[in-house]
Amino acid sequence: MKEILKNLNKAFENKVRLGIMSALIVNDYLDFNTLKDLLDVTDGNLASHLKSLEKSGYIKFSKEFIGRKPNTKYTVCDEGKLAFKKHIKAIEQLLN
């Protein structure tokens, strides 16, 4: 049991961060507004959770302009994929 608990990652304990990672794992990328609508959170709330995952090295972003409007796209880094899969596997082991 102790070994399984060690594999749980604090970065994914929050439901918004768990939602961000879940959405990004199954998509090549998602933009800020799509994530905001999908998770039903405010701009500020989403931005703070994205920044936290970015600081952990789990996601990265790119900015571009569509017409005159800025568009920020987010993707999962390889390190993020590994950490998230390890976290989900630990949850599955706890449930079994």
Whole-prediction pTM: 0.91
Q: What is the pLDDT of residues 36-63, one digit of tens each?
A: 999 999 999 999 999 999 999 999 999 9
CA end-to-end distance (rounded Å), the chain: 11
Instruction: Show contacts of 54-62: CB within 8 Å, 24+ apart.
Output: 56/11, 56/80, 56/83, 58/11, 58/21, 58/83, 58/84, 59/20, 59/21, 59/24
- In order of their start, the domains of the chain are 1-95 (1.10.10.10)
Q: Is the pLDDT of residue 1 over 90?
A: no
Tokens describing residue 8:
């749980």
Percent of the chain that is helix, strand, coil (3-state, to 5): 60, 20, 20
Q: Is the pLDDT of residue 31 over 80?
A: yes
